[in-house]
Amino acid sequence: MAGKLPQPRLSLVARVEASLGDPLDFGITTRGRRRIVPLTSGTLTGPELNGRLLGEGSADWQILLPDGTALADIRYTLQTYDGTLIYVRSGGVRHGPPEVLARLAAGEEVDPAEYTYRTATRMETAATEFDWLNKGVFVTVGAREPAGVIYETYLVA
């Protein structure tokens, strides 16, 4: 193999700001504390996509570990202003110092720089004008707010 490999570049695709419903708490399972947190509605804004998050079928199927770390399995549906549906699935982790995670769990406002919330994201759509979403590799940076979450998704080029 000759030559240096290209360094990856990130470009912002969109930002989702979502409201959350009451979590379904399954309690402690063999994998940790299982919760399903509904994403009830939200906005989609960005240089590449604009529209809204649909509450139907949108939630974070998460596992909370004893130290407060959250293992995220987030699935949600976006709808662009022209009616295009986009299925999104993100898997990742939210972790940080125990005292910061305790503040998040208590519903406090916490600066996202105090913890890490990252996911690998895949998107799927039937719309030919957005076929690049089907083929893209994406990373998402998240932030938890008292009543919602924010996801900024980037295309890796």
Whether residue 4 is contained in a domain is answered as no
Cα 57–Cα 73–Cα 54 angle in degrees, nearest 5:
25
Question: If we measure between CA atoms, which residue out of 116, 119, 43 comes closest to residue 81?
Answer: 43
Q: How many CA atoms lie within 13 A of 135 on its CB side?
A: 7
Whether residue 146 is contained in a domain is answered as yes
**Position 122, amino acid:** R
Q: Is the pLDDT of residue 2 over 80?
A: no
* pLDDT value for 57: 87
Q: Is the pLDDT of residue 1 over 80?
A: no
Whether residue 51 is contained in a domain is answered as yes
Confidence of residue 64 (pLDDT cuts 50, 70, 90): very high
Q: pTM for this one?
A: 0.93
Q: Is the pLDDT of residue 3 over 90?
A: no
Beta bridge partners of 117: 94
24-57 pLDDT, tens digit each: 999 999 999 999 999 999 999 999 999 999 999 8
Whether residue 1 is contained in a domain is answered as no
Full domain range(s) for residue 17: 10-156
Instruction: Find all residues with CB under 8 Å of 29, minimum gap 6, and list them.
Output: 63
- Is 57 or 100 the better-scoring residue by pLDDT? 100
Domain count, the chain: 1
CATH number (domain holding residue 40): 2.40.160.20
Whether residue 150 is contained in a domain is answered as yes
Average pLDDT, the chain: 96
Strands (E) located in the chain: 10-20, 24-29, 32-45, 51-64, 70-80, 85-95, 116-124, 138-145, 148-156
Whether residue 2 is contained in a domain is answered as no
